[in-house]
Amino acid sequence: MKQSSIKEIFSSTYIEADLKLIAEKVINKERLKPEEGVLLYEKGDLGFLGSLANYVKEQKTGPYVYFNRNFHIEPTNICVFDCKFCSYSRLVKQKDDAWALSEEEILQLVHNYEGKPVTEVHIVGGVHPKMGLHYFAELIRKIKIIRPDIHVKAFTAVELEYMCRKAKVSYEEGLRILKEHGQDSLPGGGAEIFDEQIRKEICEDKCTSAQWLEIHETAHRLGMPSNATMLYGHVEKYEHRIDHMHRLRNLQDKTKGFNTFIPLKFRNQDNQMSHIAEVSVIEDLKNYAVSRIYMDNFAHLKAYWPMIGRNTAQLSLNFGVDDIDGTIDDSTKIYSMAGSEEQSPKLSTQQLVELIKQAGRHPIERDTVYNTITDYMLVDFKTEQTLS
């Protein structure tokens, strides 16, 4: 949309003056202040936020919506930490649904994907007291022997903080070892909400916000990109979400190492925060929109469909989202155990492509760092031919 017509939309008399000023700033590519971010949440209605977020998205990535072909390895759900929102972790020998895969079992999972066109393996799990830095470094080396071409996106800052502490190495040394063994990037988990008071309420015993940010900064310095998540819709307030995004925006200014911002909706099944009601789909869409508008230096915004559900993920494509993660099969349990409607998350490439096209967007299969692998506007599924 041309700047003049978008300006006309946002100068409508039905929009309050302070929101008009924010829209004007966004169109002029001026950075929003934290209080303006909070105001968007408090006063912006869904139509206004969607239009503005859409405008920002299209300025950044045009009509494209990205996905990748990946699979997940969750080595264990045994965890030394006790996050109140977690439905997935088990204490050592706590319940019969605790698992810890052997190295052989993990490598077998990699073998299972031989010949399949996956480009990424995402390794994340509980923080097991006995699976340490050197064990995981060797594991990654062995994965790369089986699949030299695969991108290994592994270990949240929470897992890395524990591994480095146990191995008595600095974050830099630990990450260097993992990189030398084949780890390519970091996923965005473990960030939750950076506000120290909220963090104390929901995940007191794991890595601090400062440690999370330091680990990602170190990874970026070593040439390992990463993602960043935000767990929302529990006890936090809008100002905490904006504070979280603000800290990430500041680090991104410094390192430019983040690929994607991924808001994660709190799901309330079977965890210590089950008494907290989940937020509405309207709130999910508002949150995507405000994230897109506020995080001006993040190239991409991801809706993780196995968690949010495919229908909301599809809607989010008109609220600033340009990425819906991957065509994973049911190799992740984090969300099904927390109550996601996607109990066995599986979408074929064709289904994912259709979902994106139905939203009026242009589907692109990407690699982890957003290089185009296939332009699906050019693929005819009936003949499996690429149109030229």
Q: What gap in Å lies between CA 53 and CA 22, rounded to an integer?
A: 12
Give CA separation, 189 vs 123, 213, 233, 382, in Å.
11, 12, 16, 38
Q: Among ligand SF4, ligand V47, none, what does residue 89 contact (CB within 5–8 Å per kind)?
A: ligand SF4
The number of CA neighbours under 13 Å toward the Cβ of 384 is 1
Q: What gap in Å lies between CA 129 and CA 163, rounded to an integer?
A: 9
Contacts of 62 (CB under 8 A, 6+ apart): 362
Neighbours of 217 (CB within 10 A): 16
Residue type, 26: V
The number of CA neighbours under 13 Å toward the Cβ of 145 is 9
Among 65, 140, 152, 158, binds ligand SF4 (CB under 6 A): 158
Contacts of 236 (CB under 8 A, 6+ apart): 193, 195, 198
Among 19, 32, 79, 303, binds ligand SF4 (CB under 6 A): 79
Contact stretch for ligand V47 (CB under 6 A) within 19-27, 58-66, 225-233, 350-358: 225-233
Residue type, 43: K
Instruction: Rule CB under 6 A: say whether 202 interacts with ligand SF4.
Output: no
Contact stretch for ligand V47 (CB under 6 A) within 36-44, 82-90, 168-176, 371-379: 82-90
Instruction: Rule CB under 6 A: say whether 326 interacts with ligand V47.
Output: no
Contact stretch for ligand SF4 (CB under 6 A) within 33-41, 84-92, 249-257, 280-288: 84-92
Instruction: Rule CB under 6 A: say whether 305 interacts with ligand SF4.
Output: no
Instruction: Rule CB under 6 A: say whether 126 interacts with ligand SF4.
Output: yes
Among 87, 183, 312, 314, binds ligand V47 (CB under 6 A): 87
Cβ-proximal residue to ligand V47, closest one = 189
Instruction: Rule CB under 6 A: say whether 83 interacts with ligand SF4.
Output: yes
Residue 306 Cα to chain centre, angstroms: 11
Among 160, 177, 193, 231, binds ligand V47 (CB under 6 A): 231
Contact stretch for ligand SF4 (CB under 6 A) within 82-90, 101-109, 282-290, 311-319: 82-90
Q: How large is the angle between the packed helices 17-27 and 46-61, nearest 10 degrees?
A: 10
Instruction: Rule CB under 6 A: say whether 86 interacts with ligand SF4.
Output: yes
Number of residues that bind ligand SF4 (CB under 6 A): 12
Structure tokens belonging to residue 310? 């495919």
- Residue 153 contacts residue 120 (beta carbons within 8 Å): yes
Contacts of 12 (CB under 8 A, 6+ apart): none
Residues 288-301, buried b or exposed e (16+ Cβ, 10 A)? bbbbbbbbbebbbb
Number of residues that bind ligand V47 (CB under 6 A): 21
Among 40, 78, 86, 303, binds ligand V47 (CB under 6 A): 86
Q: In the window 324-383, what residues touch ligand SF4 (CB under 6 A)?
A: none
- Where does this chain bind ligand V47 (CB under 6 A)? 85-87, 156, 187-190, 192, 227, 229, 231, 262, 264, 266-267, 271, 304, 325, 334, 338
- Where does this chain bind ligand SF4 (CB under 6 A)? 79, 81-83, 86, 88-89, 126-127, 158, 203, 206
